[in-house]
Structure 1
Amino acid sequence: MPFARRLGLFAFACLVSLAAALGTARANPMLLVDMDNLDVLYAQEAGQPWHPASLTKMMTAYVVFEEIAKGTVTLDTPVILSAKALKQAPSRSGLPVGSAMSLKDALYVMIVKSANDTAMAIAETVGGSEAGFVAKMNDVAARMGLTASHFNNPNGLHDPGQYMSARDLAVLALYIRQSFPQYLPMFGTEAVQVGKARLESQNELLTKFSGTTGMKTGFVCASGLNMVATVERNGRRLLAIVLGGSSARERNERAAELVLKGLSGSMQPSGQTVLNLANNPGAAPVDMRANICGKGSQDYVKAQEAAFPMGLKGQPTYLTDTVVPNTYVATDLGRMAVGVVLPRPRPAHVPMFAAPTTTEAALDGGLRPGVPVAGGDIPVPRTRPVF
């Protein structure tokens, strides 16, 4: 056999061995949506159920926003950290059992720091119990038509039965923006100051990618590193979702790349809107634990790095901007007796506008008309006045 041919075969064998050693790179769910017209600019596995991790807290926040609008709680309602809340795995607020915050401050801590104890305390305050609050989460999911979503807890700590698709996350994000724009600053805040403690977001785009307005990151071993990001540049408003990243670097860089390609015009409308993008509700959620936290995680990460090296040492990066971070100052109200019912202002909710009919909602161009559920049509959540 000629030497050149033997050398070529040897080189090919080395490449095959290297690929086997590194493992196989995986194409995880990604989605890019134009928020002004709901056009899907890019979709990859967008209907696949996925463990949302702390992206769950977007739904937790939405449920709270609805309850504030109904008048069952206010932004001043005290949220007390119970013993159950403090038993939640990190990340946590760092406050002891019995500590109290206003509901507004608790929302900031939950969204920015992604504090699992605070999410549980909010659920207990607003829903009366974790189970009561989770029922509200699943009710909202049904009304929004999130057919590949189910919730068992309010904070996103791993539960095999808790899942969402990228498509459903996009719809939820759009509902937050449409119905409760007054709370969007919470999702664009980089740090919360509580006393001497500075609780920081894991969303690196907020400080290194101009135009980023929010929204949330999440991680558990079974999900990998997840992100929902909203960006406004040059008159465009785009929503990017990346699920299952092997590292924060990969998650952040892929989200930035999606947005830049959308802005450049290299990603054109697919002819679908996010509302008619297909879900796969019968599929089992993907479990990334072996790839992210198992024995094969190093090989998997190396494979992902080889497939997408942006942001690695010596490689170019999309995160080159310097953005002044937004900081919110929260107040620790001190410790309060747990189990004692506090006098809470609960004004009667007076509707300020008539609930639209299904036909009116459709004509009004809302995200979704009334969704048929048990008990009849429930109108779509609509833009609400500031209370």
Structure 2
Amino acid sequence: MVRTRIPPVAGGVAAVVAVALAVACWVVFPPSVDGTASPARPSVDLPLPWPAEGQASAEVLGLGSLGSRGEQEPVPIASVTKVMTAYVVLKDHPLAGGEAGPRIVVDEQAETEAAAPDESTVPLRAGQRISERDLLALMLVPSGNNVARLLARWDAGSQEAFVAKMNREAAALGMTSTTYTGASGVEDSTTSTATDQLRLAREVMKNDVIRAIVATPSLRVDGVPGTVVNTNTLLGRHGVIGLKTGSSTAAGGALMWAAQARGGALILGVVLHQNPGGSPGAGLRAALENSEKLIAGIQRELPAATR
């Protein structure tokens, strides 16, 4: 949130300003029957194909909220967690333009975890030296859990210390319904809401490095076998330029997404808890399919609403 400093004013003018601000706040956040603030109504009200289950939230930067659907209660978010991991790493170790950053030594733990049978991992060998940017790509594009934990140890000395940073950043962004307990999202105890994660999406899309990485369909990294393919299969369709998938049995499928509107505006959205309790693969398919319908609906309806 941008904070604007209002210079001191004389008593009579100050009173008028105070009343005007109070009226503005009442209009945007009208009081509910119990006197507390009610959630703001959508700034752009469109007939959209919201997911029938789970929760979702979307907005158009510069125009406002498109609204939310589903009960905004904390749920597991799986690998969407890695967006905050990237945000914290780049805040501590910023990269400029196409800079690769420092070369980080792969430790034995990251090599051992690469063989974990029930996780999304990237094959790494102890002693390899891989740049910060390439590790961020290996975390965000194929969703390497072992890479996320390696970056956390490199940044803070331990995953536990890094998680404390993640939660501090969440609090600073106003993500009041979010709790991080790991850097990768494999823990079901890492929970959040679509509206909270939308706050994070808004922030990370200001970062050129993250924007470039999450828009990459596939890549090759020296020392890592084969071509690394992005788990976000919506890239390039309906203007989609990112962001991050997530899936687990408890989380179902999840997707934080960004799309470019035909008029140039940036559309952001988060869909969580799609087909929870089923297989992670089925959940991810549901998240991608329901997100695609929602994005296509926004792209279809937005031009008429903004004329």
Give the TM-score normalised by the residue count of structure 2.
0.71
Match in the other structure for 2:26: none
Match in the other structure for 1:273: none
In our comparison, the structure showing a higher alpha carbon Rg is 1
Secondary structure of residue in 2 paired with 1:140: helix
Match in the other structure for 1:122: 151
Q: Which runs of 5 or more residues in structure 1 are unaligned?
A: 1-24, 270-387
Q: CA deviation at 1:222?
A: 0.8
Indicate yes or no: 2:88 matched with 1:52: no
Cα distance 1:238–1:70, how it changes in 2: closer, same or farther (>3 A)? closer
Indicate yes or no: 2:300 matched with 1:264: yes
Aligned mates of 1:223, 1:237 — CA distance in 2: 27
Match in the other structure for 2:258: 230
Structure 2 counterpart of 1:83, from 97, 108, 114: 108
Q: Which runs of 5 or more residues in structure 2 are unaligned?
A: 1-50, 276-281
Match in the other structure for 2:12: none
Indicate yes or no: 2:227 matched with 1:191: no
Match in the other structure for 1:251: 287
Q: CA deviation at 1:158?
A: 1.9
Aligned mates of 1:78, 1:124 — CA distance in 2: 14
Aligned mates of 1:265, 1:57 — CA distance in 2: 31
Aligned mates of 1:268, 1:52 — CA distance in 2: 34
Aligned mates of 1:46, 1:34 — CA distance in 2: 21
Aligned mates of 1:143, 1:237 — CA distance in 2: 23
Aligned mates of 2:164, 2:92 — CA distance in 1: 13
Match in the other structure for 2:235: 206
Give the TM-score normalised by the residue count of structure 1.
0.57
Percent of aligned positions that are identical: 26
Indicate yes or no: 2:89 matched with 1:64: yes
Structure 1 counterpart of 2:193, from 165, 169, 182: 165
1:174-223 CA distances to partner (integer Å, 9 max, x unpaired)? Answer: 01123x2343111111112135411111111014x141110000111110
Structure 2 counterpart of 1:134, from 147, 163, 166: 163
Q: CA deviation at 1:267?
A: 11
Q: CA deviation at 1:155?
A: 0.6
Matched ranges for 1:1-387 at <5 A: 27-37=53-63, 39-45=64-70, 47-69=72-94, 75-88=100-113, 89=116, 90-160=119-189, 162-178=190-206, 180-195=207-222, 196-207=225-236, 209-235=237-263, 236-246=265-275, 247=282, 248-265=284-301
1:257-309 CA distances to partner (integer Å, 9 max, x unpaired)? Answer: 1122222338999xxxxxxxxxxxxxxxxxxxxxxxxxxxxxxxxxxxxxxxx
1:25-66 CA distances to partner (integer Å, 9 max, x unpaired)? Answer: 9621112211223x2213112622111111000000000111
Letter of the 2:193 counterpart: S
Secondary structure of residue in 2 paired with 1:206: coil
1:60-110 CA distances to partner (integer Å, 9 max, x unpaired)? Answer: 000011112499xx8422223323334444211112233220111101111
Contact 1:46 1:166 in 2 (8 A): no
Aligned mates of 1:65, 1:141 — CA distance in 2: 15
Cα distance 1:42–1:261, how it changes in 2: closer, same or farther (>3 A)? farther
Contact 2:181 2:187 in 1 (8 A): no
Aligned mates of 1:34, 1:117 — CA distance in 2: 34
Contact 1:230 1:237 in 2 (8 A): yes
Contact 2:103 2:131 in 1 (8 A): yes
Aligned mates of 1:63, 1:264 — CA distance in 2: 35
Q: CA deviation at 1:125?
A: 0.7
Aligned mates of 1:225, 1:267 — CA distance in 2: 29
Aligned mates of 1:268, 1:144 — CA distance in 2: 32
Aligned mates of 2:209, 2:52 — CA distance in 1: 38
Cα distance 1:120–1:233, how it changes in 2: closer, same or farther (>3 A)? same
Q: For the aligned residues, what is the CA RMSD?
A: 2.5
Secondary structure of residue in 2 paired with 1:55: helix
Aligned mates of 2:221, 2:94 — CA distance in 1: 27
Aligned mates of 2:100, 2:88 — CA distance in 1: 13
Contact 1:30 1:166 in 2 (8 A): yes
Aligned mates of 2:299, 2:108 — CA distance in 1: 47
Aligned mates of 1:91, 1:97 — CA distance in 2: 18
